[in-house]
């Protein structure tokens, strides 16, 4: 006998499958940690997942969409649909507290505070994820990916990425 799943059960299973997908650029973060997974909808057994890129040209989004589709298929969903949502635009405010802690443990300084004009036009005090010093300086506006800046700590002399507030 085959068990019939409710729409709520199917949505929970689909969410769990999609939520397990990691960011290909920062593999310690899931797309939930990053705030990229926006919604999961199930209608008549068909699943659609909504993701928002960290910025419109993010090269990781193609891989994330493929990985989400594969995760859903492996969870038993046939022909899942992955839809990119550009509005509202993603912001670092969507990174979870757990995601920020994971970034720091991985050696990437998490974004400071809320995104806004200060983040775009002001100088930010960035704490070194290696030693905790705020005696840091920006080396380059762009780090290993466009959403990060490259910093150096003057206390421990280590370079590190900072996830910019956007």
Do 39 and 74 fall into the same domain? yes
Percent share of the chain, pLDDT over 70 = 90
113-125 per-position pLDDT tens digit: 665 554 455 567 8
Q: Check residue 163 and give its pLDDT.
A: 87
Q: Check residue 144 and give its pLDDT.
A: 82
Mean pLDDT of 60-72: 96
Angle at which helices 60-74 and 7-19 cross, to 10° = 130
Residue 89 lies in a domain: no
Domain count, the chain: 2
Q: Is pLDDT at 1 greater than 50 in this prediction?
A: no
147-156 per-position pLDDT tens digit: 889 999 999 9
Q: Which domain holds residue 73?
A: 7-84
Q: Check residue 57 and give its pLDDT.
A: 81
Residue 110 lies in a domain: yes
Ordered DSSP codes for 128-150: -TTT--S-EEEEES--SSTTEEE
Do 75 and 132 fall into the same domain? no
Domain end position, chosen among 41, 58, 84: 84
Residue 120 lies in a domain: yes
Confidence class of residue 2 from pLDDT cuts 50, 70 and 90? very low
What is the C-alpha separation between 35 and 112, in angstroms, rounded?
Answer: 16
Is the pLDDT higher at 118 or at 55? 55
For 96, phi then psi, to 5°, come to -70, 160
Do 118 and 147 fall into the same domain? yes
Confidence class of residue 17 from pLDDT cuts 50, 70 and 90? very high
Residue 140 lies in a domain: yes
Domain end position, chosen among 84, 109, 135: 84
Domain end position, chosen among 41, 59, 84: 84
Do 99 and 32 fall into the same domain? no
What residue ranges in 32-147 does DSSP mark as E strands? 37-43, 46-51, 81-84, 108-109, 136-140
Confidence class of residue 55 from pLDDT cuts 50, 70 and 90? confident
CATH (domain of 60): 3.30.300.130
Residue 1 lies in a domain: no
Indicate the SS3 state at residue 30: strand
Q: Is pLDDT at 66 greater than 90 in this prediction?
A: yes
Do 12 and 80 fall into the same domain? yes
User: What value does the mean pLDDT of the chain take?
Assistant: 89
Q: Kindly report the pTM of this predicted structure.
A: 0.82
Do 99 and 141 fall into the same domain? yes
**Contact in structure between 72 and 49 (CB atoms under 8 Å):** yes
């Amino acid at each position: 006998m085959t068990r019939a799943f409710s729409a709520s059960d199917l949505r929970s299973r689909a969410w769990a499958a999609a939520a397990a997908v990691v960011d290909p650029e920062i593999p310690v973060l899931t797309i939930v940690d990053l705030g990229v997974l926006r919604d999961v909808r199930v209608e008549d057994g068909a699943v659609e997942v909504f993701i928002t890129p960290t910025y419109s040209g993010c090269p990781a989004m193609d891989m994330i969409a493929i990985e989400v589709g594969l995760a859903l298929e492996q969870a038993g969903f046939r022909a899942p649909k992955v839809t990119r949502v550009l509005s509202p635009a993603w912001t670092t405010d969507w990174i979870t507290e757990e995601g920020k802690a994971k970034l720091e443990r991985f050696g990437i300084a998490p974004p400071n505070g809320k995104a806004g004009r200060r983040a775009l036009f002001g100088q930010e005090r960035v704490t070194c994820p290696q030693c905790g010093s705020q005696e840091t300086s920006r080396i380059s506006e762009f780090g290993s990916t466009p959403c990060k800046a490259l910093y150096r700590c003057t206390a421990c002399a280590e370079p590190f990425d900072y996830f910019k507030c956007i």
